[in-house]
């Protein structure tokens, strides 16, 4: 019997098991890379890509979001149901998380979905809420994160972080050719933000200008995290599209 | 274990033995299991026919019959089954959505005074308004609108920074506001700070030192401090810049009301004058629909008892 060959050979058993259980996943996932409608085309009125990769500061904020495990309680995926969109706003598009590695969709909602939290609250509120959620939401069970305001933001490795993301396909530019391409795709202002060579300067400039943590004298982890939260779900202007437009991408 | 069934037949094993004598039966899978398996296979084939299923190149089989119809700009559109189209249809013709839209349109078409004099519309706006308020506003203004002193204003009292008429409230919610007062720590000397603080407290009858009040008044109402520029000569505030009324006992930034002794009151007022204020009420136009903002306006207006 052939059984015996597999059952007495652990290496072979592992390989064959892996093959069998990947088939289901591969059949579901791989075609999505080839189907045209998987990622929606979302453009601004002047023909640029509406969804851009995160700026240097926002990327740092995202890393802190992941480090602190915010995703354990918060999803970032508004599903296409009436009750969801009445509460959170337009359902999430695939395009909106195309530069997220790894994506933050999640399914565990101990707290509310954060996919469109950008612009909903002020910077002061975010700072107050992250330091002491119960000072604004008496019944909240979210933990305090006071160290975000104490910790200075380490950003000397920001270029390496962006290079790593570039390797998995996020269009941060390293060469002149890539930079030119970004200008065409996103416009000059954004292309400058995506330039890895200017990453540190851009990061500092955005934090200075945004003053996300209300303390101009220091660059803290709070600056980065709030900058990230404030951009979530704000890139697409849904007013531009008629009802049902995005249903055509399914 | 016995190697034979009752009939005396030898049971088939997989044929190999571990540790000398451990063997494994090779029985067929139970019938019910097998049939369930075939049933799932048949289900899958039926599913492929009806629903979007197989990828073909850059597209996929959309499935037959399970189509969804909705309207765009008066034109009917029919598409294969998908959750986004399902949602559009639900928003257009779903029972709950249609019912709510009817009420929403009533509110949208009515003037504030008409809404406020119709118990049915008040009832509707307080129900929907409450949900909207809890989803969007309560994080800052508190579940009941009581606010947090020093951070977010109380909406329940009848003291308004930006005006309490329905039109004012609607404008506040729609456009948002920035409450800004410059920091005076670099402008004033220690003594001037004491003086102007005492004068501010005198406006609500809580001052103790007459001489300081007199000197503070000069600063407040003159070019020395220029406070009058935003708070006006009497200190009652100017709605168009959202400055606080300093003559009443309602405090929105300086937590004076909860302090008993004069020293603590002075400290609180002094802090505000030396640090200034910079706080933001977000813009809701764009995030909320015009009807939703109107409903919230009615809700907030009624929170303070309609004053």
A33/B contact by beta carbon, under 8 A: no
Task: Out of A8, A82, A250, name the one closest to residue B97 (CB).
Answer: A82
Q: Residues of B with CB below 8 A from A247's CB? A: 70, 79, 82, 84-85, 87-88
- How far is the alpha carbon of A168 from chain B, nearest alpha carbon, in Å? 23
What digits encode the pLDDT tens for the residues A2-41?
777 888 899 999 999 999 999 988 988 899 889 988 899 8
Arithmetic mean of pLDDT, B1-29: 71
Q: Peptide bond preceding A95: is omega within 30 degrees of 0, i.e. cis?
A: no
For A193-217, write each residue's pLDDT tens digit.
999 999 999 999 999 999 999 988 9
Task: Pick the most confident of A33-37, B199-203, B255-259.
Answer: B199-203
> Mind spelling out the 3-state secondary structure of B276-295?
CEEEEECCCECCECHHHHHH
SS (H, E, C) chain A: CCHHHHHCCHHHHHHHHHHHHHHHHHHHHHHHHCCCCCCCCCECCCCCECCCCCCHHHHHHHHHHHHCCHHHCCCCCCCCCHHHHHHHCCCCCHHHHCCCCCCCCCCCCCCCCCCCCCCCCCHHHHHHHHHCHHHCCCCCCCCCCCHHHHCECCCCCHHHHHHHHHHCCCCCECCHHHHHHHHHHHCHHHHHHCEHHHHHHHHHHHHHHHCCCCCCCCCEHHHHHHHHHHHCCCCCCHHHCCCCHHHHHC
Q: Which residues of A touch B281 (CB under 8 A)?
A: 122
- Please tell me if residue A243 touches chain B, with a CB cutoff of 8 Å: yes
Kindly list the domain boundaries of chain A, sorted by start residue. Answer: 3-34, 56-237
Neighboring chain B residues of A246 at a CB cutoff of 8 Å: 84
φ, ψ of residue B190 in degrees (nearest 5): -55, -45
Q: Any idea where the domains of chain B sit in the sequence? A: 2-50, 103-176+282-303, 180-280
Q: What is the mean pLDDT of chain A?
A: 94
Residues contacting residue B240 through CB under 8 Å, at least 6 positions apart = none
CA distance A114 to B71: 30
**Beta carbons within 8 Å of B167's beta carbon, 6+ residues apart:** B112
| More confidently predicted of A249 and B273 | B273
Q: What is the pLDDT of residue B3?
A: 46
CATH of B103-176+282-303, one of 2.170.120.12, 1.20.1530.20, 3.40.50.261, 1.10.760.10: 1.10.760.10
* Facing B148 at nearest CB: one of A81, A121, A136: A136
Interface residue B88 vs chain A (CB under 8 A): yes
Partner-chain residue, chosen from B72, B84, B92, that has the shortest CB–CB distance to A80 = B84
Q: Is A250's CB within 8 Å of B57's CB?
A: no
- Which of A8, A128, A244 lies closest to B70 in CB terms? A244
- Chain A residue with Cα closest to B97: A82
Compare all CA atoms of chain A with the CA of B77 and give the residue at the minimum distance: A244
pLDDT > 90? residue B159: no
pLDDT value at position A155? 96
Task: Determine the pLDDT at residue B1.
Answer: 44
Whether B103-176+282-303 and B180-280 share one fold: the answer is yes
Query: Which of A35, A80, A136 has its CB closest to that of B55?
Result: A35
CB of B281 within 8 Å of a chain A CB? The answer is yes
pLDDT digits (tens, 9 = 90+) for A43-94: 998 899 999 999 999 999 999 999 999 999 999 999 999 999 999 999 999 9
Mean pLDDT within B189-199 = 95
Percentage of chain B exceeding pLDDT 90: 72
| A129 interfaces chain B, CB cutoff of 8 Å | yes
Closest CA to A37 of B30, B60, B31: B60
Query: Minimal CA–CA distance to A43: which of A33, A35, A51, A34?
Result: A51
- Among A78-87, A240-249, B169-178, name the one with the lowest average pLDDT: A240-249
Q: What is the pLDDT of residue B2?
A: 44
Model pLDDT, residue A243: 84
Q: Looking at the complex, report in whole angstroms how far the Cα of residue B130 sits from the nearest Cα belonging to chain A.
A: 12
Task: Calculate the average pLDDT of chain B.
Answer: 90
> How does residue B27 score in pLDDT terms, banded at 50, 70 and 90?
confident
pLDDT digits (tens, 9 = 90+) for B120-148: 999 998 899 999 999 999 999 999 999 98
pTM above 0.95, yes or no: no
ipTM value of the model?
0.86
CATH topology of domain A56-237: Cytochrome Bc1 Complex; Chain D, domain 2 (1.10.760)
Smallest Cβ–Cβ distance between A244 and the set B57, B77, B278 belongs to: B77
Q: Which residue of B has its CA nearest to A123?
A: B280
Cβ-based contacts of A239 with chain B (< 8 Å): 286
- B68 forms beta bridges with B79
What's the average model confidence in pLDDT over A159-185? 97
The answer to whether the CB of B68 falls within 8 A of the CB of B86 is yes
Q: What percent of chain A is predicted at pLDDT more than 90?
A: 83
* pLDDT number for residue B307: 57
The dotted CATH code for B180-280 is 1.10.760.10
In chain A, residues with a C-beta closer than 8 Å to the C-beta of B283 are 119
């Amino acid at each position: 019997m052939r059984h015996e060959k597999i059952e007495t050979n652990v290496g072979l058993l592992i390989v064959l098991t892996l093959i069998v259980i990947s088939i289901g996943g591969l059949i579901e996932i791989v075609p999505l890379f080839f189907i045209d409608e998987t990622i929606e085309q979302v453009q601004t009125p002047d023909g640029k890509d509406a969804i851009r990769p995160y700026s240097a500061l926002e990327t740092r904020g995202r890393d802190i979001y992941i480090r602190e495990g915010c995703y354990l309680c918060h999803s970032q995926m508004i599903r296409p149901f009436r009750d969801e969109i009445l509460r959170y706003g337009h359902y999430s598009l695939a395009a909106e998380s195309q530069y997220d590695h790894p994506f933050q969709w999640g399914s565990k909602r101990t707290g509310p979905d954060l996919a469109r939290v950008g612009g909903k609250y002020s910077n002061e509120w975010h700072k107050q809420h992250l330091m002491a959620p119960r000072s604004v939401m008496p019944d909240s069970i979210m933990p305090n994160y006071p160290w975000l305001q104490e910790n200075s933001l380490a950003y000397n490795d920001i270029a390496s972080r962006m290079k790593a993301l570039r390797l998995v396909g996020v269009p941060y530019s390293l060469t002149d050719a890539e930079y030119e391409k970004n200008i065409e795709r996103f416009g000059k202002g954004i292309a400058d933000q995506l330039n890895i060579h200017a990453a540190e300067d851009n990061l500092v400039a955005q934090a200075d200008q945004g003053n996300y943590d209300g303390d101009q004298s220091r660059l803290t982890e709070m600056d980065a995290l709030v900058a990230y939260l404030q951009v979530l779900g704000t890139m697409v202007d849904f007013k531009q599209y008629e009802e049902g437009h995005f249903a055509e991408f399914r | 274990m016995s190697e034979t069934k009752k009939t005396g037949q030898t049971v088939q094993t997989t044929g190999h033995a571990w540790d000398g004598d451990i063997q494994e039966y090779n029985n067929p899978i139970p019938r019910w299991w097998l049939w369930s398996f075939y049933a799932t296979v048949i289900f899958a084939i039926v599913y492929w026919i009806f629903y979007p299923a197989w990828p073909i190149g850059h597209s996929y089989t959309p499935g037959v019959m399970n189509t969804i119809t909705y309207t765009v700009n008066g034109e009917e559109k029919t598409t294969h089954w998908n959750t986004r189209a399902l949602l559009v249809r639900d928003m257009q013709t779903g029972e709950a959505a249609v019912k709510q839209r009817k009420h929403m349109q009533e509110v949208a078409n009515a003037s504030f005074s008409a809404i406020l004099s119709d118990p049915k519309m008040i009832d509707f706006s307080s129900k929907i308004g409450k949900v909207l308020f809890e989803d969007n506003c309560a994080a800052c203004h508190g579940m009941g609108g009581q606010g947090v002193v020093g951070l977010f204003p109380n909406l329940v009292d009848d003291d308004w920074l930006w005006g309490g008429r329905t039109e004012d409230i609607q404008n506040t919610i729609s456009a948002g506001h920035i409450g800004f007062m410059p920091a005076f720590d670099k402008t004033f000397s220690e003594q001037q700070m004491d003086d102007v603080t005492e004068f501010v407290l005198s406006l609500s009858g809580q001052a103790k030192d007459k001489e300081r009040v007199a000197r503070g008044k000069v600063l407040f109402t003159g070019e020395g401090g220029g406070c009058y520029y935003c708070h006006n000569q009497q200190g009652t505030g100017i709605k168009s810049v959202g400055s606080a009324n300093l003559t009443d006992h309602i405090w929105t930034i300086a937590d004076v009301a909860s302090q008993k002794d004069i020293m603590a009151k002075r400290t609180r007022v002094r802090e505000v004058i030396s640090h200034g204020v910079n706080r933001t009420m977000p813009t809701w136009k764009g995030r909320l629909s015009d009807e939703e903002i109107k409903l919230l306006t009615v809700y907030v207006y009624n929170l303070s008892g309609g004053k």
